[in-house]
Structure 1
């Protein structure tokens, strides 16, 4: 019997041994799994962190708003926006609305560091227990990061990790009030309504300060699901959500039981009409779209459409109205000659300011003929360029005599004069040839002085369109040019040989008062000699007095040139006075069935139907530049010149911040946060982020850092009080003789002086960043007008032409350019995007 007993005892030991081994292996595997999981999570977090956007984008990004465009005579030409949004400071948002938002969205907002672990645990428990389906745990900071920086709602591990890490970083760089302010300005409250200010205005038709508890709770409740609680369409759902918010506010003791009962039974009255986002109803629509196109190329769509810009243009609204009305009525009156459309553009020759732009008879059309495509053949309006090139040689002038006869080019005799005459072989002066628009004389001149000479001068005078290589027929206007280009050319004659580049935008200010653009006239001096400009002016005066442009002789001091292309496809008149230069163009453009150029059969669309498209047709034989366009020019200039002469009496509207700078008196500067000790016994000091020295009242970006007690830190010497001359900004008037706001460089301006702090030694330890947990007892008023940073020694600058498409140094083939300032000695790569066509390299 003893032997079986020993076997059982041995079996028990074996079982315990095997169990221990199994548990050991299991523990090892579990430990390995945990280590692997930690390493894997670490790798994932590191990858996410490396691909993570910059958290400081949140503090840099401007709140959206409505972009507004103004004329020089203080008229709002249009508003551009893709959503309703208007920024408001935190101190203007009522406490009841702040409490309602925090209660329902993030009740521990002032306690957590951007990520609420307790809230995550609570949400997991409630979702698992079914007590409340779908409870979220995102903090206000996480929601703000999601909407402003990440801009996506993908439910992936990477995005959630990025959101959490960014929220933690944001909390270390911004105060709680700054985060809350940005949140209440950025969140969607249904439809295209963003921010509490527009939500209050569009739902209730009132200001924030007038909100009731019930209305504040309704607005706060919209954030969770804006489409499902949109008050204009789902008011009952919005009211149900309001009641949930009120209950949460009562639970957290933000309101009393009496306030809860009253708010819950309060009747909510939402405005009857749902707002519509309309951004295409402009005054001067062709001009406004021209301006927007330039700004989008330079700053991007988002800045223009959502940046709340103030754009101050060169257009005069009164002059524009006359241009539109005269063009439409005149083209309508010429329909008997098969004239159906046209365009007109007016410049101020001394500045290049575009004063009026009528891009076509149909204002709603996207086609702006003043700048459309490659342009049209300018006809005889090109001839003054040929004569100017000849006058520049010093061998020719208005009184020079030449024989009126065509050239012999091999077997070809070319050209004929208008009407089919080959010239009479008579001796005529150049002035006579210009006045009567002879073709033979400019043909002789371009043959003598050379095609390249004429082309180079045309480009310097403002024509950016390409020229056919070595084609002498360009002297008769067979190349292409837009009305804007032709007006630019003639402005050189009106401006005594100096050429002003056409410009439409004078000043652009963003939603926070920062100057994005401040454009001055770009003048190229002595493109032609002053004597050449005067001689051309004399010839063009003869055109109006006794030549083909008599239809414009109702305007005192008028000078100009007619143009009519072969078979009367295009007619022109371009002319000027000392005040203005205007180009008028007309055509017969109709919608017709598109034909294949080879087979001449209709081109069919995907449904087998003939495609329709614009077709240019012949006008009547008497629809010439002198008969059609010169009278239009005369009628417009009779109205426009007096407007130009009387312009400049009133300043254009400026943003409120710049208006305040006029006559501003120095105020005591804000005092940086005083040094204090933290819980570790270290001293907390306000540090300038840019220089890492003790902050002064003029440092724009300040953080608090901890240092060993007794450390001494030198004050920042980069940011100083502005000079007295910088304390005012003059308004702009409607003439170029008065400057636009006197801001030295694009950027904000401060109007307060600074004391000079005593120097102290430089710190040696590396400071560690700490977030300011609570705002100062008396927060300084926030303003969009901040400090202009000026170097102690001015850096010499140069102006360079930049291609708007490649952002590189423009070459002669870049179609769109903008002039920018750079430190002297800056070297930029030349644009390689725009190149000459084959065979044009010698140009």
Structure 2
């Protein structure tokens, strides 16, 4: 790969050098005057555009073990060395395009002048370009000007000026590259049909073979196509392709590279291309398949967000080793689909898994019940359900973790301190309640909240409140800690894109939105302002959420309070095998280690009797120390479970992706549906918790049972 990449760069340098100095090498006796001056100007113009730009190559995405997962490309090309191309292929091309290839020095002057004069006088258009000249033209069209239609037209216009410019560069090229290098360079750059470039890709996708095994018939078909790929496409125009192939075979006979007897035998062979079009990999994350596509999509999104240009990603020939654990990703997909059928209308069930650590938070799995792909009728989607801010109705009480952490940090309550949990609470801080709430000023109602059936009443420790999830306790703690502190805690622990997103849609704030509220980030929307004390509903998880970021919150807590970006990247190497650095955010101590460790202990009871996830944990025989928190939104329209062990953290979410507002009904594994109205019976301890425990129990099977960190007394009791 490194040698081939160097060869391509040599061409770029040769083109540039040729454009600058080849004016001294062009015979001007017969073609002097204005024509030569115009050609010189054209060459100088080209010299400003030609650079050390290698041909586009395929970028390969692999799992953490280095096994390929997907390919990304603009041009499907497999670099091929001279010894990897059959003689039949080489001689077929030379015979039909440039039989004097090994005799001239880049330009067939007699043929070039004849063709140029004929074209200028209005006769039939003639080519007479040597393979060296065609190499230059193809390099300009397929590499330098591949995204420039005007440049491509200039590179192939039928004019004396263009022919002379091309000739000057070709002459210089032959002084710096051997004939074999030029021939192989051409065979690596030339376009065939259907986004297939170069003989390596053509051999594989047309015939299911490698270029060293190309037969006379196969080589003749490909050599004939190079003249006009679309016209001689063997699937669209098989009769034309066959006629052209046989023409090339006749030229091989004329060039004494094939006997007449062998030629007639070869002509009897069918085209021999693979049925149903070329066999080539998908050009994007669809090629990762229904199971791995979501992870591939996150890799692409992550790289683009961290400075890589999409064109570079799709043409750079990189090898991107990701952090995806294929075993974990399969278990996550299997568990998500066991709970919710992939074709269930308007129900998405996702699971994101992250490995805790103080120097990296590696994403190991991203899965959904739906398959990744373009066929919606088959339950497929290309929307990044597990990683994007896709759940627009929220994750419910899982956000109470941020209120608990803020209260602990500000000295409001430790995990063993008693907190109040009345059955109903009318806030004297927040406003914005519904008609059932008392009026506190003209046109303004107080914010009031009641406990769901899974909550308690009276008073309890903060640890028990995290286990049983009473709404009133956390709204009261939110009042005491302060809205700004709670929002800041959510951002610090990991909800960074989520908190920066638009509160109404889950997307980036829209600068063109009509209302100021619609342009606000969630930090602004829920936070206190000059005219508002903040919105107390934040702790109840009513806002759009990224499941991956929620998983990373658990990873931050289990990493001693160290936040790291949830990265899918293990290593990136370029086409020459050299490392390609990526600027990622630095890990940071988001909260004191003692606070994080104590919060983990505070969240350690959800899987035990009395906890909201106890039934799901019991269903898989769970017996490991863990942290956990369930959440359910109003009308039971979405729910979540966030949890983790020292080895693995994650979050599962179930929600309505297409028509968000309404209820979800959980009738058990494989029997979850969206309702037409607002009623439902979904809770975080049902589908989401079963999804999380179903996957994580299998992934951790056989691994060491590790304890949670010890609590810090400073955060156990602060009163």
Correspondence 1:586-597 to 2 at 5 A: 586-589=654-657
105 and 295 in structure 1: CA distance in 2 versus 1, 3 angstrom threshold: farther
Select which of 92, 103, 111 maps to 1:119. 111
Select which of 266, 284, 303 maps to 2:292. 284
Tell me the distance in 2 between the aligned counterparts of 1:391 and 1:518: 36
Partner of 1:575: 643
435 and 243 in structure 1: CA distance in 2 versus 1, 3 angstrom threshold: closer
Select which of 449, 454, 463 maps to 1:416. 449
Deviations 1:631-689 (A, max 9, x none): 3322222112227769xxxxxxxxxxxxxxxxxxxxxxxxxxxxxxxxxxxxxxxxxxx
Partner of 1:181: 184
8 Å CA contact 1:314–1:354 kept in 2: the answer is: yes
Aligned-pair CA distance for 1:507: 2.0
Does 2:455 align with 1:447?
Answer: no
Does 2:388 align with 1:372?
Answer: yes
Partner of 1:29: none
8 Å CA contact 1:551–1:626 kept in 2: the answer is: yes
8 Å CA contact 2:336–2:368 kept in 1: the answer is: no
Deviations 1:355-396 (A, max 9, x none): 221134344212332233464323211111122122223553
Select which of 448, 456, 459 maps to 2:488. 456
Partner of 2:136: 142
User: Aligned to 2:113, what secondary structure does the other structure show?
Assistant: helix
Specify which structure has the higher proportion of helix.
Answer: 2
Deviations 1:519-569 (A, max 9, x none): 88x662432122212221122112332332323433221221111112222
RCO comparison, higher one (Cα < 8 Å, 6+): 2
Deviations 1:290-330 (A, max 9, x none): 22333456444444445444332111222222222221221
Residues paired across the two proteins, number: 582
5+ residue gaps in structure 1?
1-36, 595-613, 647-843
Aligned-pair CA distance for 1:398: 0.8
197 and 479 in structure 1: CA distance in 2 versus 1, 3 angstrom threshold: closer
Partner of 2:689: 630
8 Å CA contact 1:505–1:519 kept in 2: the answer is: no
User: Aligned to 1:515, what secondary structure does the other structure show?
Assistant: coil
Partner of 2:352: 345
Correspondence 1:582-661 to 2 at 5 A: 582-589=650-657, 620-642=679-701
Deviations 1:170-205 (A, max 9, x none): 556544433322211121234443222333444455
8 Å CA contact 1:87–1:195 kept in 2: the answer is: yes
Tell me the distance in 2 between the aligned counterparts of 1:593 and 1:414: 22
Does 2:199 align with 1:196?
Answer: yes
Does 2:399 align with 1:382?
Answer: yes
Partner of 1:68: 60
8 Å CA contact 1:92–1:208 kept in 2: the answer is: yes
8 Å CA contact 2:642–2:650 kept in 1: the answer is: yes
Does 2:374 align with 1:361?
Answer: no
Partner of 1:734: none
Partner of 1:560: 628
218 and 487 in structure 1: CA distance in 2 versus 1, 3 angstrom threshold: closer
Does 2:94 align with 1:102?
Answer: yes
Tell me the distance in 2 between the aligned counterparts of 1:340 and 1:113: 67
Tell me the distance in 2 between the aligned counterparts of 1:277 and 1:207: 13
Aligned-pair CA distance for 1:442: 2.8
Partner of 2:505: none
Select which of 254, 257, 263 maps to 1:255. 257
Partner of 1:531: 594
Tell me the distance in 2 between the aligned counterparts of 1:592 and 1:421: 23
8 Å CA contact 1:221–1:245 kept in 2: the answer is: yes
- Greater Cα offset, 122-131 or 583-592: 122-131
Deviations 1:724-774 (A, max 9, x none): xxxxxxxxxxxxxxxxxxxxxxxxxxxxxxxxxxxxxxxxxxxxxxxxxxx
538 and 179 in structure 1: CA distance in 2 versus 1, 3 angstrom threshold: same
260 and 219 in structure 1: CA distance in 2 versus 1, 3 angstrom threshold: farther
Tell me the distance in 2 between the aligned counterparts of 1:519 and 1:431: 39
User: Aligned to 1:573, what secondary structure does the other structure show?
Assistant: strand
Select which of 226, 229, 237 maps to 2:229. 226
Partner of 2:417: 400
369 and 211 in structure 1: CA distance in 2 versus 1, 3 angstrom threshold: closer
408 and 198 in structure 1: CA distance in 2 versus 1, 3 angstrom threshold: closer
Tell me the distance in 1 between the aligned counterparts of 2:355 and 2:455: 39
8 Å CA contact 1:371–1:483 kept in 2: the answer is: yes
8 Å CA contact 2:62–2:321 kept in 1: the answer is: yes
5+ residue gaps in structure 2?
1-31, 147-151, 373-379, 432-439, 501-521, 529-533, 663-672, 706-719
**Structure exhibiting the larger radius of gyration computed from Cα positions:** 1
Tell me the distance in 1 between the aligned counterparts of 2:208 and 2:314: 24
Tell me the distance in 2 between the aligned counterparts of 1:263 and 1:202: 25
145 and 589 in structure 1: CA distance in 2 versus 1, 3 angstrom threshold: closer
8 Å CA contact 1:387–1:442 kept in 2: the answer is: yes
489 and 210 in structure 1: CA distance in 2 versus 1, 3 angstrom threshold: closer
User: Aligned to 2:651, what secondary structure does the other structure show?
Assistant: strand
209 and 488 in structure 1: CA distance in 2 versus 1, 3 angstrom threshold: closer
8 Å CA contact 1:371–1:482 kept in 2: the answer is: yes
Tell me the distance in 2 between the aligned counterparts of 1:135 and 1:43: 20
8 Å CA contact 1:417–1:423 kept in 2: the answer is: no
Deviations 1:403-437 (A, max 9, x none): 3353324835544232399996x443222222221
User: Aligned to 1:478, what secondary structure does the other structure show?
Assistant: coil
User: Aligned to 2:603, what secondary structure does the other structure show?
Assistant: helix
